[in-house]
A and B are shown apart, each in its own frame.
Chain A
């Protein structure tokens, strides 16, 4: 066994400072590459932010990096005019409404369905669940035209409710999939114990499964929130005056370079909320991603 020991990599504990330095130097290319790439990845967002603080004329002169030589050009006047712009503020309110509705409703619906798929017994359960898995990848393009017709007939066109219902439906397959897979991991003994105590299924669902399922529900809530907040296609198709922030910005794109002092700050506002959510709940976001990366 002694020979194997010598062939094994040197134990890190007893490493001398010199070899530690050597090891670090040996890794220097990796550090440099990662620093370079990391900075590269941040530049576009930084550029958007700095551009959003420049006047439209300043942008015509030179790009956002002029702020490094003339920091006085950084002002928040554009943001003041963005928040004074009624189109933008009402679009933000619309976005918030769509996102809240489009997050809570699918979670509620999917929690019931996920529980049924995980813990209730009924004929065809597995086939129905496979149907849900199949629906995961149905492109929403398949629904745009018929739902457009339907909404026009029943008066849901150009309403927040219409958008929320659509987001709910297309969020459901993923939501059911995620919650069912999480619920099924809850120890059977807990459920049995509750049943023996005479608790109804509804009670078990509300008092046992939902509290235990909170981490999964949190992941799902973040996903669904980001998905609805960031949507452009659905709102563009089923709305005209009911504009979330993405659509409001989209309608300004035609005159890109002259309205850059509105587009850039409005875009940054629209992306600030998802970033805050992302940084606050990063853990749940990544967990949800890993649990459901089949979507």
Chain B
């Protein structure tokens, strides 16, 4: 191999013009015998159907009537199929590049640690598993409820650390002088130092009462200050709205704001376990009291990964989880074949690690990176199993890709073999440049 630029490599056994010798026919018959089973399989199951599908794509759903390019027109007018094309374009734009880049990073990093085998095994493992099983694995990861889905649980932990959710998501004011404004609750009348302000809230279920709440207390007035109480203004069996009564609980940790006449916040305090709060040393004048919106912020309910908006990124993440290992292993093998001396020489010449990586390693790896990129390109055009596994039935139109659209058009429900064939041909056309590239590369190798 290697040297010849012609397609016709030198035959292993040198011979005179074959047909002239009686033995040549026997040789050819022998070769035909060795090739016959493969020829039958490839002919019947690959080549014949490929031609048949091309022809079929010009006929209607039942195959009775010639419809010209109508099926292809359908491909570019039907909403469902256009979504599939658009999504597949996203896949093509994002996945091959990302997988190659991640594989390169992993391969370079693992070269520097002694336990690289453990890491490679962990990352490579998903390659062995079916894309379908991997899809189900990720569907469990993506469950929306943060109590069940791991991704949302992780986001919730981070979010709660920096920005804990409000204590009272559903609460409403109990008296008319309070109104809901800007996500919070505001007292309509002005207050002055020395006032005692009851802020009654209702529609808080027993479960939602913050932990540690005690019997609410109406505080005493404070000289030069404003006091008040935030409490659950609800007494089982009835009670008077706006009055603090027995069995009514104070609401702790509610953030109460004191605002000046212009509406700007001048102070903020948190209520005690009995619901009381106090602003001390308040200058004389008119103020407004409000409970800030953060108190009523809904707790994190989970990102809807499996909803119509995020489903494609969600499936792509799962797909990268599968294929990063492949890219890493192939690139690592390429990296291992780069001569150490070349790298050492570059370092000796004063190159920083980054320069060596950028100017020496990556250019030397270019052929390997190309192989990985092209392999992923083909894979992405045929992606099917993982989409059907991760995306729930209701969002499969939103997650659609060409291979899934082809299968659903032809075999699920509509059974339109005409349009189904057209989609298949479309996928095939997209693969053809890669096919030609492979042939060219291979002709050089023979």
Task: Scan residues 255-292 of chain A and give those whose CB is less than 8 A from a CB of chain B.
Answer: 256-257, 260, 263-264, 267, 270-271, 274-275, 277-278, 282, 285-286, 289-290
CB distance from A50 to the nearest CB of B (A): 10
Contact with B128, one of A232, A267, A277 (Cβ below 8 angstroms): A277
CB distance from B361 to the nearest CB of A (A): 16
Indicate whether B8 reaches chain A with its CB closer than 8 angstroms: yes
Contact with B119, one of A8, A34, A254, A257 (Cβ below 8 angstroms): A34
- In the complex, chain B residues whose CB is within 8 Å of the CB of A115: 34
Q: Evaluate whether A139 and B428 lie within 8 angstroms (CB atoms) in the complex, with A38-B118, A113-B35 already known.
A: yes
Contact A112 B122 (CB under 8 A): no
- In the complex, chain B residues whose CB is within 8 Å of the CB of A44: 134, 137-138, 140-141, 150, 321
Contact A142 B442 (CB under 8 A): no
Indicate whether A21 reaches chain B with its CB closer than 8 angstroms: no
Contact B417 A130 (CB under 8 A): no
Q: Evaluate whether A38 and B123 lie within 8 angstroms (CB atoms) in the complex, with A139-B381, A254-B393 already known.
A: yes
Mask, B297-337, CB within 8 Å of A = 1, is 00000000000000000000000010000100110010000
Contact with B375, one of A38, A172, A246, A293 (Cβ below 8 angstroms): A293
- In the complex, chain A residues whose CB is within 8 Å of the CB of B434: 137
Interface residues on B, range: 35 or more
Q: Evaluate whether A141 and B424 lie within 8 angstroms (CB atoms) in the complex, with A30-B112, A120-B27 already known.
A: yes
- In the complex, chain B residues whose CB is within 8 Å of the CB of A71: none
Contact B30 A138 (CB under 8 A): no
C-alpha spacing A173/B140, complex, angstroms = 36
Among residues of B, the one whose C-beta sits closest to the C-beta of A7 is: B348
Contact A168 B385 (CB under 8 A): no
Indicate whether B435 reaches chain A with its CB closer than 8 angstroms: yes
Q: Evaluate whether A271 and B41 lie within 8 angstroms (CB atoms) in the complex, with A126-B7, A145-B410, A233-B407 already known.
A: no
Main secondary structure of the interface of A (DSSP, over half): helix
We find that the number of chain A residues with CB closer than 8 angstroms to chain B is 109
Contact A290 B130 (CB under 8 A): no
Contact A290 B141 (CB under 8 A): no
Task: Scan residues 125-163 of chain A and give those whose CB is less than 8 A from a CB of chain B.
Answer: 125-130, 132-148, 150
Indicate whether B86 reaches chain A with its CB closer than 8 angstroms: no
- In the complex, chain A residues whose CB is within 8 Å of the CB of B132: 230, 232, 246, 249-250
Q: Evaluate whether A134 and B49 lie within 8 angstroms (CB atoms) in the complex, with A145-B56, A267-B136, A293-B372 already known.
A: no
Contact A45 B30 (CB under 8 A): no
Contact B125 A278 (CB under 8 A): yes
Contact B53 A145 (CB under 8 A): yes
C-alpha spacing A232/B232, complex, angstroms = 56
Contact A165 B41 (CB under 8 A): yes
Contact A184 B38 (CB under 8 A): no
C-alpha spacing A108/B410, complex, angstroms = 33
C-alpha spacing A8/B446, complex, angstroms = 42
Among residues of A, the one whose C-beta sits closest to the C-beta of B13 is: A121
Mask, B21-35, CB within 8 Å of A = 1, is 000000110111011
Q: Which of A12-20, A56-64, A73-81, A212-220 contacts B (4 or more CB under 8 A)?
A: A56-64
Contact with B446, one of A126, A253, A282 (Cβ below 8 angstroms): A126
Contact B130 A141 (CB under 8 A): no
Contact A138 B428 (CB under 8 A): yes
Q: A residues within 8 Å of B by Cβ?
A: 4, 7-9, 27, 30-31, 33-34, 37-38, 41-45, 47-48, 51, 59-65, 108-110, 112-113, 115-116, 118-123, 125-130, 132-148, 150, 165-166, 168-170, 172-173, 176, 184, 188, 191, 201, 205, 226, 229-233, 236-237, 246, 249-250, 253-254, 256-257, 260, 263-264, 267, 270-271, 274-275, 277-278, 282, 285-286, 289-290, 293-295
A-B contacts besides A138-B428, A143-B49, 10 pairs, CB < 8 Å:
A115-B34, A122-B28, A134-B438, A169-B41, A172-B46, A253-B393, A270-B130, A278-B125, A278-B128, A294-B374
5 contacts between A and B (CB under 8 A): A43-B141, A129-B446, A132-B42, A137-B434, A143-B49
Q: B residues within 8 Å of A by Cβ?
A: 1, 7-9, 11-13, 15, 18, 27-28, 30-32, 34-35, 37-38, 41-42, 44-50, 52-53, 56, 106, 109-110, 112-113, 118-119, 121-123, 125-134, 136-141, 143, 147-150, 153, 321, 326, 329-330, 333, 344, 347-348, 371-372, 374-375, 378, 381-382, 384-385, 388-389, 392-393, 403, 406-407, 410-411, 417, 420-421, 423-425, 427-428, 431, 434-435, 438-439, 441-443, 446
Nearest 3 interchain pairs by C-beta: A230-B130, A169-B45, A278-B128
